[in-house]
Structure formats: C-alpha cells, structure tokens
C-alpha cells in the first residue's frame, strides 16, 4: 500500500459468547470486546465465521448489531453475509444506523457461482449498500473463489469497496490480490484470513490480518504490528515462531470455534466454551492440551 487504508492493522473476528443453553450472552460479549479494546487492536469483526453467523437467526444477528456497537470504541465491521439478499441489505442498514464503520459480505454459497455471477452479485450489492463494505473470500466454505482480477475490477468500480478478507491457505493468492488491487487503488485493504500469514501479508504490501487467535492473544499480533513499523526483524521472527505454535488451536478437538471459545473460557473466565456447532465439546485430553499450550505457556 502506498496509502494506508483506514482499516489496516490487526482485526479480531470476535467469538459470540453463549450461555450453557446456547443463548447469546451479551454480558460475556461486553467483557470480551473490552479486553480486545484494551489490547489496542485496530478493528473488531462481529459475527464472522468464528462468531458463528451461520448458526444465528436473523433476529439474533440484528440484535447483536444493535447491542455490540456500544461495547467498544474501536472500528467495528459487521459480517452481514446471507444467502438471502434482502437479509443482507436489512442487516447492512441496521449496521449503518448503529454506526458501524463497514460491513462484510461473502459471495453466495451453496450454489456454485461463475465469475459472471459473482460480478453480477457484487455489482448489485455495491449499488445498494450505503456505506463502506468488504468482501469475504473463503473458497473452502463457499465453493467459489473471488479471484484477484475479479476483485480488482470491483475495486475500480466501487470507491466504497474498502477491502477483502482473503481466507485462502496460499500466500501467493493473497499476494496476487495485493498486486492486482494496488494497480487500481492505493487505499484498498487486502487482509489475510490465516493467522500465520500476517507478517508475510505485511511484507507483501498487504493491510493486515483477521485472526482467530486474536480472541486469545491479541497482544501478540499488536506486538507484531509495532515491530513491523519499527523494522524489527528479530522480534518479527520470534513472533512468527510463536504464531506457528499457537496455530495448533485449529487442530485440537472436532471444531475450532468451540476450541477457541473453550480456551477463552478457561483462560479468562467471563464466558462459557459453548458453541452451536454440534459435537464440538472438548474431552479431558483436549482440555489438558489447551491448558498446556495456551494457559501455562501462552
């Protein structure tokens, strides 16, 4: 980036705390967002994949949009993805009314989408949204890829298209996204969706990271942000090594969302480890592992 995006830096895709019955826990969310705010990250993403948007009703999502905005002074972005366009626009309107800085939208999922269909969808969306918006590229979940050329085309057409979360386990894909969009916009934010690609993303000229580990250890990524600004390669190398170790959070248990929530619960105590993903509860062996990695060492 030759011009720093206002959305550059360290993002946390916040968990959505729930009580033991699986109901949304606003008190737990308030505690969680306060901790993220105190850690001095840059942006909170509400109801991303780790926030379990796909398991929440439209009514719950609208309620969370209304209630969460006042819980932090940081920039906040609401994920309003849905397979129903009218729901997307209703949630986006609610987010705009509540004072969110932007919204984020996945491409249509379940039905396979061609490049022509993706362009049509996002052009319709770009014409309807009032404020700034991000695309969310997660081919492993949507079955389609927002290619660098497609994203650059949209970035050139829509000034309010502020950036993209590129959740592709291939740094060259994100690097190509950075290069393609930089050719048409110098303020477009390309954010990696994989924790361990934060530093490589910065090295390639990207805007930052949307990292699930920030629910547990946001200070580590804030330290990386500051070390990069100072050109401190020794510290960056040490942090990259730590991130590599902590990536084990995604391989413990059956369901990484429940695992992340369980780590937060056991480490900080203000919420349960309950998620709406069936069968994700950790066994005793898994709990011993996370205690060793994230409580004793982390």
Would you state the structure tokens that stand for residue 182, as one six-digit string?
């930089």
- Is the separation of the CB atoms in 9 and 225 below 8 Å? yes
Residue 37 is predicted with a pLDDT of 98
pLDDT (tens, 9 = 90+) of the chain, 298 residues, equals 446 789 999 999 999 999 999 999 999 999 999 999 999 999 999 999 999 999 999 999 999 999 999 999 999 999 999 999 999 999 999 999 999 999 999 999 988 899 999 999 999 999 999 999 999 999 999 999 999 999 999 999 999 999 999 999 999 999 999 999 999 999 999 999 999 999 999 999 999 999 999 999 999 999 999 999 999 999 999 999 999 999 999 999 999 999 999 999 999 999 999 999 999 999 999 999 999 999 886 6
Kindly report whether the global pTM for this prediction surpasses the value 0.85: yes
Residue 1 is predicted with a pLDDT of 41
State the first-to-last Cα distance of the chain, in angstroms, to the nearest integer. 32
Distance CA 129, CA 118 (A): 16
Interior CA angle at 250 toward 64 and 172, to 5°? 95
- Is the separation of the CB atoms in 221 and 214 below 8 Å? yes
Phi, psi of 32 (to 5 degrees): -65, -45
Q: Is the dihedral of CA 264, 265, 266, 270 positive or negative?
A: positive
Residue 7 is predicted with a pLDDT of 97
């Amino acid at each position: 980036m030759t011009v720093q995006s206002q959305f550059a830096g360290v993002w946390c895709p916040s968990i959505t705390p729930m009580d033991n019955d699986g109901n949304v826990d606003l008190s737990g969310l308030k505690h969680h967002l306060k901790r993220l705010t105190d850690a001095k990250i840059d942006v909170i993403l509400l109801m991303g994949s780790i926030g379990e948007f796909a398991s929440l009703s439209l009514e719950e999502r609208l309620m969370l949009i209304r209630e969460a905005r006042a819980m932090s002074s940081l920039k906040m972005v609401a994920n309003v993805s849905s397979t129903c366009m009218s729901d997307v626009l209703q949630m986006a309107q609610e987010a705009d009314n509540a004072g969110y800085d932007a919204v984020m939208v996945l491409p249509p999922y379940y039905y396979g989408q061609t490049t022509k269909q993706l362009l049509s969808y996002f052009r319709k969306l770009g014409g309807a949204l009032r404020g700034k918006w991000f695309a969310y590229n997660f081919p492993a979940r949507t079955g389609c890829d927002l290619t660098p050329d497609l994203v650059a085309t949209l970035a050139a057409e829509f000034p309010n298209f502020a950036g993209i979360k590129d959740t592709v386990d291939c740094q060259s894909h994100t690097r190509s996204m950075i290069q393609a969009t930089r050719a048409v916009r110098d303020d477009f934010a390309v954010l990696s969706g994989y924790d361990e690609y934060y530093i490589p993303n910065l090295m390639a000229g990207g805007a930052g990271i949307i990292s699930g580990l920030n629910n547990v250890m946001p200070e580590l990524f804030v330290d990386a942000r500051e070390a990069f600004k100072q050109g401190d390669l020794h510290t960056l190398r040490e942090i990259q090594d730590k991130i590599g170790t902590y990536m084990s959070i995604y391989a413990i248990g059956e369901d990484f969302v429940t695992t992340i929530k369980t780590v937060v619960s056991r480490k900080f105590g203000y919420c349960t480890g309950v998620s709406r993903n069936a069968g994700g509860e950790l066994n005793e062996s898994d709990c011993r592992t996370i205690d060793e990695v994230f409580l004793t060492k982390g």
